[in-house]
Amino acid sequence: MAFNPQIGTDGKLKHLLTIEGLPMEVLLHVLDTAKSFMSVTAQEVKKVPLLRGKAIFNLFFEPSTRTRTTFEIAAKRLSADVVNLNIATSSQTKGETLLDTVANLTAMHADMFIVRHSQSGAAHLIARHVGPGIHVINAGDGRHAHPTQALLDMFTIRHYKGGFNRLRVAIVGDILHSRVARSEIHALTTLGVPEVRVIGPRTLLPRQVEKLGVQVYHDMAVGLEDVDVIIMLRLQQERMSGALLPSAGEFFKSYGLTPEKLARARADAIVMHPGPMNRGIEIDSAVADGRQSVILPQVTFGIAVRMAVMSILAGN
Amino acid sequence: MTPPDAERLLAALAEQIRRDLKPETAIVGIYTGGVWLAQRLHEMFGLATPMGTIDVAFYRDDYRKTGLRTGVKPSDIPFPVEDAEIILVDDVLYTGRTIRAAMNEIFDYGRPRSIRLAALVDRGGRQLPICPQYVGAQVQVEGDELIELQRDESGRLVLRVTRRGE
């Protein structure tokens, strides 16, 4: 990457656009800070005053419930003022460009933008054009990156497994369309996970994915052998063009996580999923609701992780 | 200056606090030095209420200038703050800003009946109307000097004075 607008000339993190290229210390700073934010939940008043008077704009050009809501809760727990923009009914549909929308919101004294967009690079574009003192967080851009999801998944792994240095982690399913998978692979390798496996059909794996430092498996039963962490991905049917798959039923037979396939992993393996889940397509309900599932704790941890990212950025 | 003996100051501080202790008194230490002191006091007094710890990083008033530092510790107040009698413990009392932040954080857990402040050393220089009830010693420190509590491998507490930038 020639130009990395995330890091300022003082070496501090100004925007969070992608995990790629971020040093381990930055990732650990977020995870450590998030751990401290977990205790805010124990307070009678579940708020800290760090971002009082800051205006945070949730710019979601693509639908999202979990991510948008947890960003909103996180911002409110930091005492920021949050504005949610319903883009479907906004000026964009009247032809305003992305940068004009952002310029207008900046004129309303925005301090931070949380951006989700179906186009890869949308958050980068905004970050390059905002003035100093304004921060941008990528909440998912096309197939490119979803850095806060990767960070909350790293928080979850550290919470249950204590660290990263001895783990075998498998990412399963539709890797090709998954910005989550890409961000996770960068985070896992940066944090020193010695073995990252990706499991999926040839048609749903990016070409040359092994260059990211992962091992490729097409047979799920073999790929899950002795793993400590299983990250299931959503089958992104809305991003598919052409016949990449025979059918959802066929996919479940080969790559759906069932109790039988889960039994190949270590007995204490955890099962994660970024949501929303397609039950019966990539994951069996018996697994999703089973004792090894940490899917709902992931959502809770997501609030603390997003509080950490926002408060670190706004302070830099 | 030569700093006073921290262990002797702790003993003096404990004697002052002991006179006011009630069975239900709660102790809360401020990271890092205040937590070490609070641990020692809690043990000495054999208090029934579990000890609390606070890292004031999320309540500091200089966040906009300095940002969020690394190594923030989770705060832990494992007792009901509502109606509690709390003794807040810190190592060095200076501007009073840390104490202001700690009190704000405590109030987000509930409304205590009272908070009293214990500091191992008071170096003066207050910028806020904060006044400790228990003090190990008042010390004279130059403006560019830093006095801080350290703990050696055996757990013994030591005060050190350094010049800023050293």
For chain A, give every domain's residue range: 24-146+299-315, 147-293
Residue A292 structure tokens: 């090894």
Chain B CB within 8 Å of residue A36 CB: yes
* Mean pLDDT value across residues A118-142: 94
> Whole-prediction pTM value?
0.93
Set of chain A residues whose Cβ sits within 8 Å of the Cβ of B82: 44
Please write the tens of the pLDDT for every residue from A140-167.
Answer: 999 999 999 999 999 999 999 999 999 9
The predicted pLDDT at position A259 comes to 98
Q: What is the mean pLDDT of chain B?
A: 95
Q: What percent of chain B has pLDDT over 70?
A: 99
The answer, yes or no, to whether residue A10 has pLDDT greater than 50, is yes
Chain B CB within 8 Å of residue A42 CB: yes
Tell me which chain A residue has its CA closest to the CA of residue B60.
A50
Please write the tens of the pLDDT for every residue from A216-234.
Answer: 999 999 999 999 999 999 9
Of A12, A32, A47, which is closest to B72 when you measure between CB atoms? A32
The predicted pLDDT at position A1 comes to 43
The predicted pLDDT at position A212 comes to 94
Residues A223/A199, Cβ–Cβ less than 8 Å: yes
Q: Using CA of residue A62, residue A67, residue A71, residue A72, what is the dihedral sign?
A: positive
Of A37, A47, A311, which is closest to B108 when you measure between CB atoms? A47
Residue A291 structure tokens: 């004792």
Of A36, A42, A45, which is closest to B72 when you measure between CB atoms? A36
Tell me which chain B residue has its CA closest to the CA of residue A35.
B74
The predicted pLDDT at position A96 comes to 79
C-alpha neighbours within 13 Å on the C-beta side of residue B94: 12
Q: Mutate one of A36, A305, A311 to test the B interface: name it (highest B CB count within 10 A).
A: A36
* Mean pLDDT value across residues B124-147: 94
Please write the tens of the pLDDT for every residue from A299-314.
Answer: 999 999 999 999 999 9
Residues A174/A233, Cβ–Cβ less than 8 Å: yes
The answer, yes or no, to whether residue A240 has pLDDT greater than 90, is no
The answer, yes or no, to whether residue B2 has pLDDT greater than 90, is no
Residue B40 structure tokens: 């020692």
**Measured between CA atoms, how close is A58 to chain B, in angstroms?**
22
Chain B CB within 8 Å of residue A219 CB: no
Set of chain B residues whose Cβ sits within 8 Å of the Cβ of A316: 67
Set of chain B residues whose Cβ sits within 8 Å of the Cβ of A52: none
The answer, yes or no, to whether residue A4 has pLDDT greater than 80, is no
Please write the tens of the pLDDT for every residue from B10-44.
Answer: 999 999 999 999 999 999 999 999 999 999 999 99
Q: Mutate one of B68, B73, B103 to test the A interface: name it (highest A CB count within 10 A).
A: B68
Q: What is the mean pLDDT of chain A?
A: 93
Please write the tens of the pLDDT for every residue from A95-116.
Answer: 678 899 899 999 999 999 999 9
Set of chain B residues whose Cβ sits within 8 Å of the Cβ of A135: none
Q: What interface predicted TM-score (ipTM) does this complex get?
A: 0.87
A147-293, CATH topology level: Rossmann fold (3.40.50)
Higher pLDDT, A250 or A292: A292
B6-163, CATH topology level: Rossmann fold (3.40.50)
User: Alpha-carbon distance A21 to B122, whole Å?
Assistant: 46
**Measured between CA atoms, how close is A21 to chain B, in angstroms?**
20
The predicted pLDDT at position A2 comes to 42
The predicted pLDDT at position A97 comes to 86
A24-146+299-315: what CATH class? alpha beta
CB contact under 8 A, A37 and B108: no
Q: Which residues contact A174 (CB under 8 A, 6 or more apart)?
A: A200, A204, A233, A234, A235, A236, A282
CB contact under 8 A, B58 and A47: no
* Mean pLDDT value across residues A261-277: 97
Chain B CB within 8 Å of residue A35 CB: yes
For residue B53, the cross-strand partners are B29, B76
The answer, yes or no, to whether residue B117 has pLDDT greater than 90, is yes
CB contact under 8 A, B109 and A43: yes
Please write the tens of the pLDDT for every residue from B40-85.
Answer: 999 999 999 999 999 999 999 999 999 999 999 999 999 999 999 9
For chain B, give every domain's residue range: 6-163
Helix, strand, coil fractions of chain B, as percent rounded to 5: 25, 30, 45
Of B68, B71, B77, which is closest to A315 when you measure between CB atoms? B68
Of B58, B70, B81, which is closest to A48 when you measure between CB atoms? B58
CB contact under 8 A, A315 and B66: yes
Chain B CB within 8 Å of residue A41 CB: no
Please write the tens of the pLDDT for every residue from A64-101.
Answer: 889 999 999 999 999 999 999 877 656 666 667 889 98
Residue A188 structure tokens: 């896992």
